Structure 1
Amino acid sequence: MYLTPEFKEEIFAKHGKSKSDTGSAEGQIALFTHRIEHLSGHLKTNHKDYNTERSLVMLVGKRRSLLDYLMKKDVLRYRAIVKELKLRK
């Protein structure tokens, strides 16, 4: 599988407060971003895979709502994660 437990720990250690802190908004946003990139690559070769397309749209919505939450709670954390993951141009 493309998303091993070790890789998840690495993502949460890099973007969250610790490697076991799976509930932080930054860690979840980073994990969603990785999954979105993976599904986007899959859809480039399998453009008729509508189930994956729906999953991708749902993930983008979840990430958007987490980003909105983070922007309301703490603008500095929002700006840091957006800059770190290069989500904006």
Structure 2
Amino acid sequence: MYLDSEKKKELFEKHGNAKSATDTGSPESQIALFTYRISHLTEHLKKNRKDFGTTRSLQKLVGKRRRLLDYLIKTDITRYRAIIKELGIRR
């Protein structure tokens, strides 16, 4: 499986909030998880162009990540800039 509990744990420890390594609900950790899933689904769709169910789920994930990023912009711009730079989402 592409996303097992070990990989999730690693993502949450690396991108989680500074308060706790097990903080899975922070916007930074959720954005990191969504970014990992988006990259995996993008690779899948490069091989399977007609998989419309996956296309829809990819669009929903991108929307969720966008809403979390918008939330971070409103609440704390420095955290937003840090996660964008760390994940390399923007150019």
Whether TM exceeds 0.5 here: the answer is yes
1:12 touches 1:21 (CA, 8 Å); kept in 2? yes
CA deviations on 1:34-64 (whole Å, 9 max, x unpaired) are 0000000000000000000000000000000
TM-score after normalising by structure 1: 0.97
Q: Following superposition of structure 1 onto structure 2, how do residues 16-55 of structure 1 map, counting pairs within 5 Å? A: 16-17=16-17, 18-55=20-57
Q: Which runs of at least 4 in structure 1 moved beyond 4 Å after TM superposition?
A: none
CA deviations on 1:6-60 (whole Å, 9 max, x unpaired) are 1101000000023321100000000000000000000000000000000000000
What are structure 2's unaligned runs of at least 5 residues? none
TM-score after normalising by structure 2: 0.95
Q: Identity percentage over the alignment?
A: 65
1:82 to 81, 84, 89: 84
How far did 1:82 drift? 0.3
Quote the RMSD (CA, aligned, Å): 0.7
Q: Partner residue of 2:8? A: 8
What are structure 1's unaligned runs of at least 5 residues? none
